[in-house]
Chains A and B, each alone.
Chain A
Amino acid sequence: MDHLDRLESTSIHILREAYANFKSLCMLWSIGKDSTVMLWLAKKAFLGHVPIPLVHIDTSYKIPEMIEYRDRLTKEWNLDMVYGMNHEALKASETFPAGNTDRLTCCKMLKSEALRNTLSGRWPRHRFNHNLGKYEIDKNAEPFTGVIVGVRSDEEGSRSKERYFSPRDRENDWDIADQPPELWNHYKTDFAPGTHVRIHPLLDWTELNIWEYIERENIPTVSLYYNQGDGKRYRSLGCAPCTNPIESEARNVSEVIEELRSGQLSNIAERSGRAQDSEDGGGLESLRRDGYM
């Protein structure tokens, strides 16, 4: 077994533990490279099927190609696709692109708030109806008690402190200082009513591992990750107004891998193209405490 095999096995094990232990489980899919690898790992864990609903938080400001890609895979892979949205904030134009809030508040409203209320079932959820070929309001408003999230510990500091199975209380709060012990492959799968657990199968993967795996498994990815001829590509995907591409010549997966291995990007943070991270000192950590992924 090589390093990727080991990472894959551990992630599959975690996904299966989650599936066996949580009655109401979902997997967050941001359409990005990490959560797409996670989706692929789910197909590995469940032998070609994805028996877990996928939840996408649509801010309405995603790059259109991301949404097209989402809906294409939904149909091709027969995914149980659900999206949630902060309809009210959007209707009232309380967003950064509309010029009415700062970036962090916008993230908080369109992502954290939308996520919290989508998971709890308080806000309407839209589910893809494969017979009709379109989304419709989901009648099932049951809260999700297990939420699988594709964060990696090498992304930034607060993520590196995560457990594989991380409890969040009623308010979505995460107590970094007092996390449950994880011994061997025994995780926290028992939880008090009203709380939920975030499950992180990709914690041990690095950005490079993700790309190596995409190459090895030939996993379809959004073309925004590659230079289309203008010398730029996205390294991390987010909302169009707040995400910028980086200078790069990499036109395909193996060139992206070359670029990462060469150390060319080693002094540039992966999320440096994400404007909200640099908004205030601990931007991402405070966002994450509030329930941001």
Chain B
Amino acid sequence: MKTAEAEKQVAREHMNIVIAGHVDHGKSTVIGRMLADTNSLPQGKLEQIKERCRRNSKPFEYAFLLDALKDEQSQGITIDSARVFFSSAKREYIIIDAPGHIEFLKNMVTGASRAEAALLVIDAEEGVQENSRRHGYMLSMLGIKQVVVVVNKMDLVDYSEETYKNVKAEYTKFLADIGLEAIFVPVSGMAGDNIVSLSDKMSWYQGATVLESIDGFEKEPPAIDKPFRMPVQDVYKFTQAGDKRRLVVGTIETGQVSVGDELVFYPSGKKSTVKTVERFNVPQKDTAAAGEAIALTLDQQIYVSRGEVAARTSETKPEVTSRLSVNLFWMGRNPMVKGKRYLIKVGTMKEEVELEDVIRVMDGSDLEASETKDKVEHHDVAECVLSTKRAIAFDLAEEIAATGRFVVVDDYEIRGGGIIREGLKDEQVWVRDYVMRRNYKWETGEVSRDDRAERYSQRSSLVLITGQRGVGKKPLAKALEARFFTEGRFVYFLGIGNILYGVDADIKSQESEGNGQRQEHLRRMAEVANVMLDAGMILVVTAVGLTNEDLEVIQTAVDSRQINVVWMGDEPTDIPCDLVLPQNGDLSDAGEAIKTMLQDKGIIYRP
């Protein structure tokens, strides 16, 4: 049976607060005081620690409370260096303690990225330090907008209003530069001034106490009033378990969605309508909103997958491009350098990325800008341009934070993080615009891609054989078509010439061999391929000496997961290929190699 008291407990608000600050500026003392003065300590704990100090002839410090509580972890008391629990009359708090030492910056950002608000401690005597600035910068980058700056150790500066005002002025200016506003409270953690109750030692201060200030923080409600964004986590089909639903799953970051809403998935631009909103073990409901992890079924069977962002056609759409202007901070020991491939994660999308340009590097400690650097070093914060291999969908961080921030992975580790300031134009913009319009207008039949894959026992796929002239691409393509056909596959060799004089007749007749022509030619070839792939075909195409740029055009028009690049010839190439074959080698061996590749990728099923 539930009591009214119990009901109230469940309904009580929870808030995570990170406490940050330079080493020895007094974080533990402030937390210890807060615990003691809000009666959040286990019974007798305070007396016990005081007694222990007396016996060891050591002056008592509130910081010892935390150490003592840490000692008790093994006895099951739920306090740890990382998380401290306490409650005010208003709500339940978890204080996430962020180590002040610079070596622990990644722990600090981990803690802070889970917090809704922050306490930033600055020693009145020592003043604003390197880490005070660095931590402030991280908080702003992590999207924390509610900050209380605790100017601690006022007892050591004779409670001087002037000292406090100087610290406040200096740090306010710094915060303003990085777009943050904060409440300032002068305190002495040691003496308990202005932590939970106002102190008469600082009668010049009539503002809120630390506790009142954090109680004044507002719990940010899930952003339901923003445009709908749901990064697709996955598409599930549990056919084997007798479940016919094709479920597009994800967590709604912002906005809301209802049955009947028309959705567009970015970056592909594919469109469909919400048929049902699915959940397990709850009554059917036709809507879902920010914060919920749900599943959708769609009316039209489009092929979407992890990494795309679902938006409603009736609302502002996300940006799509492969060049991003960002603010980035770097936690890796090795710097982020140009010419090296990294991975970027935005929403649920993971994509290859390179550092294209460093606009400005700031030393995180003093925010002194350096415009001459061409790399981003350990603990640097930088404005830079990143370019991704394929275009990604995102929002500007200031508009929708959740889809406007990213991390950079280097050598299996998350080494950088940041926010997207602006989407920049890239070279593929002309193709992408066509493709998005095409996908948006694309009419789907009743037969889904999965249905076709099941019928033909294969997933549609483009085998793109490229290499220099005269290496034997065409004979291989034809032999491959014949072989697969004999084996019962649904396969087609698309002769390039067949396109050149048909689909391309208008541009071919102009007889100019400019690069624009070649790209348009490739785009058209890719469009034809796209139709045939949609029909479930394995399509074999040859093309002379594809460059990275050419490949990007094709990848923009055709879902790049469907493309298998085979490079033929003894000349090396810098394009990313799935398979390299010798020139004019044995056709049967080459065919076998391609078949094995398709089997390994699960495109054709064994045997």
Residues of A within 8 A of B (CB): 1-6, 8-10, 12-13, 16-17, 19-20, 43-49, 51, 78, 153-157, 160-161, 163, 179-186, 188, 190-192, 206, 212, 217, 254, 257-258, 261, 266-272, 277, 281-285
In the complex, which of the residues A17, A154, A163, A184 has the most CB atoms of chain B within 10 Å of its own CB atom?
A184
Given contacts A13-B251, A180-B414, A261-B6, 16 further A-B contacts (CB under 8 A): A1-B292, A10-B293, A17-B233, A20-B306, A47-B243, A49-B238, A153-B83, A157-B70, A157-B80, A183-B405, A183-B414, A186-B407, A212-B10, A266-B42, A267-B42, A281-B74
Q: Is the CB of A182 within 8 A of B2?
A: no
Within 8 Å CB of A156, what residues of B?
A: 73-74, 76
Within 8 Å CB of A4, what residues of B?
A: 10
Q: Is the CB of B110 within 8 A of A20?
A: no
A and B contact pairs by CB, cutoff 8 A, 22 listed:
A1-B292, A2-B11, A3-B14, A5-B292, A8-B293, A47-B236, A47-B280, A153-B80, A153-B83, A156-B76, A157-B73, A157-B74, A157-B80, A161-B82, A179-B110, A183-B109, A188-B413, A261-B5, A267-B42, A268-B76, A269-B77, A272-B76
Residue in B6, B75, B76, B279 whose beta carbon sits within 8 Å of that of A257 in the complex = B6
Q: Is the CB of B80 within 8 A of A163?
A: no
Q: Is the CB of A49 within 8 A of B291?
A: no
A181 and B280 in contact, given A9-B291, A212-B10, A271-B76 (Cβ under 8 angstroms) = no
A20 and B234 in contact, given A1-B222, A254-B2 (Cβ under 8 angstroms) = yes
Within 8 Å CB of B414, what residues of A?
A: 180-183, 186, 188
Within 8 Å CB of A48, what residues of B?
A: 243, 280
Residue in A17, A47, A271 whose beta carbon sits within 8 Å of that of B247 in the complex = A47
Which chain B residues numbered 52 to 88 have a C-beta less than 8 Å away from chain A? 70, 73-78, 80-83
The interface bits of chain B over 388-427 (1 if a CB of A lies within 8 angstroms of the residue's CB, else 0) are 0000000000000010011101001110010000000000
Within 8 Å CB of A16, what residues of B?
A: 233-234, 249-250, 293
The interface bits of chain B over 233-249 (1 if a CB of A lies within 8 angstroms of the residue's CB, else 0) are 11010100101010101
Q: Is the CB of B293 within 8 A of A182?
A: no
Within 8 Å CB of A183, what residues of B?
A: 109-110, 113, 142, 405, 407, 414, 417
Q: Is the CB of B245 within 8 A of A47?
A: yes
CB distance from A274 to the nearest CB of B (A): 11
For residue B481, CB closer than 8 A to chain A, the reply is no
CB distance from A225 to the nearest CB of B (A): 18
For residue B546, CB closer than 8 A to chain A, the reply is no
CB distance from B555 to the nearest CB of A (A): 22
The interface bits of chain B over 470-504 (1 if a CB of A lies within 8 angstroms of the residue's CB, else 0) are 00000000000000000000000000000000000
Q: How far is the CA of A170 from the CA of B3 in the complex (A)?
A: 50
Which chain B residues numbered 102 to 125 have a C-beta less than 8 Å away from chain A? 106-107, 109-110, 113
Q: Is the CB of A269 within 8 A of B75?
A: yes
Q: Is the CB of B345 within 8 A of A186?
A: yes
Q: Is the CB of B107 within 8 A of A181?
A: yes
Q: How far is the CA of A164 from the CA of B280 in the complex (A)?
A: 23
Within 8 Å CB of A267, what residues of B?
A: 42
Q: How far is the CA of A2 from the CA of B13 in the complex (A)?
A: 8
The 5 tightest CB contacts between A and B, nearest first, are: A269-B76, A157-B73, A181-B106, A12-B293, A160-B80
In the complex, the chain B residue whose C-beta lies closest to that of A190 is: B412
CB distance from A168 to the nearest CB of B (A): 13
Within 8 Å CB of B107, what residues of A?
A: 179, 181
Q: How far is the CA of A206 from the CA of B83 in the complex (A)?
A: 13
Secondary structure dominating the interface of B: mixed
For residue B377, CB closer than 8 A to chain A, the reply is no
Q: How far is the CA of A254 from the CA of B2 in the complex (A)?
A: 8
Q: Is the CB of B243 within 8 A of A49?
A: yes
Q: Is the CB of A13 within 8 A of B280?
A: no
Which chain B residues numbered 1 to 58 have a C-beta less than 8 Å away from chain A? 1-3, 5-6, 9-12, 14, 42
Within 8 Å CB of A13, what residues of B?
A: 233, 251, 293
Q: How far is the CA of A3 from the CA of B91 in the complex (A)?
A: 12
Q: How far is the CA of A49 from the CA of B278 in the complex (A)?
A: 13
Q: How far is the CA of A155 from the CA of B413 in the complex (A)?
A: 28
CB distance from B503 to the nearest CB of A (A): 38
For residue B281, CB closer than 8 A to chain A, the reply is yes
Q: How far is the CA of A222 from the CA of B216 in the complex (A)?
A: 44
In the complex, the chain B residue whose C-beta lies closest to that of A215 is: B2
A51 and B83 in contact, given A182-B113, A183-B414, A192-B412 (Cβ under 8 angstroms) = no
In the complex, which of the residues A6, A43, A48, A206 has the most CB atoms of chain B within 10 Å of its own CB atom?
A48
Within 8 Å CB of A266, what residues of B?
A: 42
Residue in B80, B113, B280, B413 whose beta carbon sits within 8 Å of that of A43 in the complex = B280
Q: How far is the CA of A131 from the CA of B442 in the complex (A)?
A: 44
Within 8 Å CB of B81, what residues of A?
A: 161
Within 8 Å CB of A43, what residues of B?
A: 280-281
Q: How far is the CA of A19 from the CA of B233 in the complex (A)?
A: 9
For residue B295, CB closer than 8 A to chain A, the reply is yes
In the complex, the chain B residue whose C-beta lies closest to that of A258 is: B6
Within 8 Å CB of A282, what residues of B?
A: 74
In the complex, the chain A residue whose C-beta lies closest to that of B402 is: A184
Within 8 Å CB of B251, what residues of A?
A: 9, 12-13, 185
Within 8 Å CB of B234, what residues of A?
A: 16, 19-20
Within 8 Å CB of B381, what residues of A?
A: none
Q: How far is the CA of A286 from the CA of B250 in the complex (A)?
A: 37
Q: Is the CB of B293 within 8 A of A184?
A: no
CB distance from A20 to the nearest CB of B (A): 5
A206 and B405 in contact, given A16-B293, A186-B414, A212-B10 (Cβ under 8 angstroms) = no
Q: How far is the CA of A180 from the CA of B106 in the complex (A)?
A: 8
For residue B187, CB closer than 8 A to chain A, the reply is no
CB distance from A34 to the nearest CB of B (A): 15
For residue B149, CB closer than 8 A to chain A, the reply is no
Q: How far is the CA of A266 from the CA of B280 in the complex (A)?
A: 34
For residue B355, CB closer than 8 A to chain A, the reply is no
Q: How far is the CA of A125 from the CA of B19 in the complex (A)?
A: 46
For residue B343, CB closer than 8 A to chain A, the reply is yes
Within 8 Å CB of B109, what residues of A?
A: 181, 183
For residue B551, CB closer than 8 A to chain A, the reply is no
Within 8 Å CB of A212, what residues of B?
A: 10
Q: How far is the CA of A47 from the CA of B10 in the complex (A)?
A: 26
In the complex, the chain B residue whose C-beta lies closest to that of A1 is: B291
Q: How far is the CA of A44 from the CA of B222 in the complex (A)?
A: 21
Within 8 Å CB of A2, what residues of B?
A: 10-11
Q: Is the CB of A161 within 8 A of B281?
A: no
Q: How far is the CA of A163 from the CA of B109 in the complex (A)?
A: 13
CB distance from A277 to the nearest CB of B (A): 7
Q: Is the CB of A47 within 8 A of B278?
A: yes
Q: How far is the CA of A19 from the CA of B241 in the complex (A)?
A: 17
Within 8 Å CB of B279, what residues of A?
A: 44, 47
